[in-house]
Structure 1
């Protein structure tokens, strides 16, 4: 029995070997050694051995390259995940700061409106005081003119009264019955008495009104002086208040401008962070493409059990362990879900479907490479026994 030759087409197609190939090869080698140890087929066996060694070396190099790329990819994944979380935290801080800035700006606008209202009330009070002072000044002017008229009228009555006394020789009294001889008639005496009584009453009334008017003038003058002083004091106080309010409004406007500028700066930084995150996402996509290409290259040795084990793999198996930060995020999500979602689903939602798909590809690739490494070890042991 001779070992059947392996043509070049089969060599080119069968880049990797399986368990069945190894068993067949060992069986054929044993038969060859028993039947014809130095036959013509030894050259072909050496070629197969050399071909297997080349495949083993290529597989080891591919495995080493894959492990290096996997380690680099995992490091990038961790760094990008940390960066993404940091960017999300910064975005949350920016949003919170913008919300607080809007609230503070709203409160400042309310304070400004309240202070403008206080300024308006103060100006209205000043206007009312000014109107009251103007009315008092006008009334005082009228009283002064009236007192002047009363003074002239009183002077005239006084002269009339003195003239009547002179005409009666300066001895007239209302109760007197000693009239001069030319005034003995009763009608003349009665008319003169009535005239004197009337003039005396008018004189007394004018004197009383003049005294009352003078007292009122004095009171109004005092009130006017007090109102003028109060107005000056109130005006000074209100002007100081208005100046303080204007200064506070100016400071608030400057603070609002500074907050607006800071908000614009934070928004620009946030856009830059999002741009960097997009760039890192593109890098991850490139690495994922390289992993998929490598999976396509070794698709011939990927078995159904690899896919089955990949689908059944847990999150801890895919990640090689769960970090405390990830565990904390999952616990927080689980508490927010109030037990309506199980822990595995919480892990999936926290990591995202895209990242899980990449992790499963890498895990499947690792399983295939582990089997390939095991096959290489078995073949090496077979050649060692030989």
Structure 2
């Protein structure tokens, strides 16, 4: 009996162990399922990041002067209307416009087109609002006017538009707080309420040319470009702070304030690049070497400062000229493989291994 009881108890114990082992299996399966799910989520996240940021731009360190010789293109050709482009405040997208091309939004990391819409006008300039929620476009209807402003949401919905000048709008800039818009046309500029289009102030004979504008980072000043350099105005009173001595009326490009707000870079149709302080004092000037003066035919476009203000990139006919922003030393020219045509603006639209860079 005792033996049978022992056998019985052992028989009972064994099934209990088996039951216990069976009960452990679902826990094992569950744990494996969790691990597989986590692994799948990680792989999906890596795949998504790879699509959104294949070049790792979100973690890239700012370019320094020492990095310029090793700059390489990121991706192939993208649509680049020749008039204007602007980076979104978060750096993820680039807005482009020009002539009758409407507005195109491309992903900065890949060059893929994210959105495109038409504008009921010929366009000169496009600018993101400081918070990235809106885009302002300046242009014209008719032959040379009137000039119009169009304000879109970032998704392309037209919220408002208004006739701003009798001539085409050549320059447009948001105030740093996003409440005002400055526009420039011929020798006039105006300030508008961005949310309503209501005129705040209009200044006549603002500068010799005045078809290009940029707001200082602190919102106190407005710069309007001319061949001799930018003219600077008090944004609150409209009074002049510095007037460019140039009397020429050749084509000019928008000026660009440094991120620190202590300098302004400008360029013009005939190829000159200049940097001045906010009171108009010259820091340096670069003239195309073929003539040694500003009387040349090298097309330039709006300059662009690096985030640290150490470098200045200027689109020109031969390519993007990269300068030491402190001294004006030309570090390198990034050329484009687009036949006889130079780049219209600062964006990487050349193919890997085919940049035909000009080292200087």
Give the TM interval when normalised to the shorter protein.
Answer: under 0.3
Question: Which TM-score applies when normalising by structure 1?
Answer: 0.19
Question: Which TM-score applies when normalising by structure 2?
Answer: 0.21
Q: Which structure has more helix as a fraction of its residues?
A: 1
Q: Which structure carries more relative contact order (alpha carbon 8 Å, separation 6+)?
A: 1
